Chains A and B, each alone.
Chain A
């Protein structure tokens, strides 16, 4: 090693030192420790005792575990497609050259910066069965058909759709990403397709969508990762980690939290966390494989 190389190495390590410590203490050690704990019987009160794959085997026969996984996947299937469609539709609307676009963009984006606990509080009030804004608006409409609006968060059937509806309100982030993607689509492509006589719909389908497919893919992956870990809003809105009403909102992260920190079964909690990691990787790889041929990267 030359003197110059040695100096670079010293400087490089020196500059990266905070991260080397941070990586070690706050990431690498916890990752390895939680993998180890996942094979242990462990509560914080006593030191971990090795129990092999017991935690993972228990998971397979734990009906509540399966329920929490099912709840999470159902919620993801409700909120992800709806959120994608709304975010994309808003972005397309904002991408039309109309005056006041920055104002509309601000309005649609604003809800997504509202602190999660505060927006949870707000939506609990909106979903209030009796005096909530939503049911007050729905009541006269549904009344025409002789129907009653649901009790939303108080009703096991409607609690998940309610949470999905609320998540649509906060699509501002993905909307801005889509908008950036739309603005990067070369205008010549639209002009060319227009000369070829393509309708607006065909242009959207054959020009816009392929051109923004990398952004769609990115948002899909981030959406999967985020939705599977939903915690704060549900914890606040359903009053703790029980997943009220009737465990209908007992999501994976909630069950994991209550197992680890209320029941102090931290080994089982770690095993669930690693299972979540595996599920995320499997879903991400599957989504990548499924969309591979359709995601078009411009060169």
Chain B
């Protein structure tokens, strides 16, 4: 459809731009908060840009925090301490507004501190103002961000490899090999898609417990190597659109079924392989319930669980650090999205898949 009048066109643009702001504002707000010093996260009205204020106190030009505006327009300011550990009493003064210099200054150190404290270190330890506790005695007292990242990447990559390999092989069995019982098994496969996860949850916990996998990452990636009903369905539908003559020709040339899959079918199926890989990666990166159920100790946590754990331990005021950690968790997904935007949109539009 096309807006008929220039006025209609203008109206559509105005609405689109307004809505764009509404949809982007939360993300901008997140980035903005993550770059602010803590006192600027709690100002009314809120500001979008992280700033630094400078004033001359007792003859020294120092960075200050604006604590309170007096009725006459002047500000009560306090010298800003670089760390929480105070070496001397901080100077305060009342300064006219025009003598406070304001500059835009993103606090990138929020990210360093957030990542360092995410695993349980205190801010002082992360700052280096106190020596880090010995971590040898209890492996869970403090874990580095790198451990969470490594766990998540491991679960994602192994899962993606497993999902692509297993579903391609199984889908080949469903799409290209005419065997007795195939349709029945396929119907059963589709039926399992109806089962909600809570039904499986308790016995799955039992299965993984008897395998000795509780507290390890295995429950999060090993099942990917054994197929998934929806992905099998997706790949089977795609494989069926590849002309049977190609397989026949390869068979006459002496190819085995494995060779047909590897040399004929898979090279033609890159779009569907990409969709399965992408959505499994997303699922594994975002999964919260799985890690919550099956991981017990901090050094095995994935980023999603570590972020929630960080929030519940840090309490309610360190929003600048929480937002910095959240940005770090989101960023790889956003980059992936911009690299593979077409695959995303095609994947959802053609399958109706819920990312």
Contact = CB atoms under 8 A, between A and B. Distances in A.
Our verdict on whether A and B bind, yes or no, reads yes
19 contacts: A12-B181, A22-B226, A23-B192, A25-B226, A26-B204, A26-B223, A29-B203, A34-B199, A44-B206, A93-B15, A106-B341, A110-B337, A115-B304, A117-B304, A125-B29, A176-B345, A190-B1, A270-B202, A277-B199
A5 B166 contact: no
Given A31-B195, A44-B209, A277-B199, A236 B308 contact: yes
A266 interface: yes
Interface stretch (A242-250, A253-261, A288-296): A253-261
Contact of A180 (B304, B341, B350): B350
Interface residues of B, number: 97
Contacts of A225: 196
A44 B311 CA distance: 29
B241 to A, nearest CB: 18
B73 to A, nearest CB: 21
Interface of B: 1-3, 9, 12-13, 15-16, 19-20, 23-27, 29-30, 33, 41-46, 166, 169-170, 172-174, 177-182, 185, 188-189, 192, 194-207, 209, 223, 225-229, 232, 257, 282, 285-286, 288-289, 292-293, 303-305, 307-308, 311-312, 319, 322-323, 325-326, 329-330, 333-334, 337, 341, 344-345, 348-350, 352-355
Given A22-B166, A26-B204, A125-B322, A96 B195 contact: no
Interface in A107-138: 107-118, 120-126, 128, 130-131, 133, 136
Nearest to A5: B180
Contacts of B182: 12
Nearest to A130: B42
A186 interface: no
B349 A176 contact: yes
Contacts of B323: 121-122, 125
Nearest to B200: A30
A239 interface: yes
A277 B1 contact: no
A185 to B, nearest CB: 9
Contact of A131 (B41, B288, B325, B344): B41
A100 to B, nearest CB: 8
Contacts of A229: 196-198
Residue of A15, A28, A112 ringed by the most chain B CB atoms within 10 A: A15
B27 A110 contact: yes
Question: What are the 6 tightest A-B residue pairs by CB atom distance, in nearest-first order?
Answer: A22-B226, A15-B173, A12-B179, A180-B349, A30-B203, A19-B227
Q: Interface residues of B: mostly helix, strand, loop or mixed? A: helix
Q: Interface residues of A: mostly helix, strand, loop or mixed? A: helix
A260 B202 contact: yes
Contacts of B289: 231-232
Given A16-B185, A30-B207, A111 B326 contact: no
B9 A98 contact: yes
Contacts of A18: 166, 169-170, 225-227
Given A12-B173, A23-B188, A104-B20, A133 B29 contact: yes
A95 interface: yes
B202 A122 contact: no
Interface string A80-100: 000000000010010111101
A123 B203 CA distance: 33
A194 to B, nearest CB: 10
Contact of B232 (A19, A116, A126): A19
A125 B319 contact: yes
A226 B3 CA distance: 35
A256 B198 contact: yes
Given A93-B15, A121-B323, A33 B206 contact: yes
A118 B192 contact: no
A173 B308 contact: no
B354 A30 contact: no
A122 B326 contact: yes
Interface string A252-294: 0100110011000010011011101100110000000000000
Nearest to A10: B179
A98 B16 contact: yes
Contact of B352 (A20, A130, A133, A177): A177
Contacts of B227: 18-19, 22-23
Contacts of B178: 8, 12
A14 interface: yes
A121 B322 contact: yes
A179 B349 contact: yes
Contact of A96 (B12, B305, B350): B12
B198 A253 contact: yes
Residue of A30, A110, A270, A276 ringed by the most chain B CB atoms within 10 A: A30
Contacts of A147: none
A19 B11 CA distance: 53
Contact of A118 (B177, B203, B207, B326): B326
Given A117-B304, A177-B352, A111 B23 contact: yes
B1 A136 contact: no
Contact of A113 (B185, B206, B225, B333): B333
Given A18-B225, A176-B349, A115 B27 contact: no
Nearest to B176: A15
B23 A113 contact: no
Contacts of A232: 288-289
A49 interface: no
A104 B29 contact: no
A169 interface: yes
Contacts of B45: 136
A116 B177 CA distance: 40
A121 to B, nearest CB: 5
Given A26-B200, A229-B196, A15 B29 contact: no
Contacts of A173: 348, 353-355
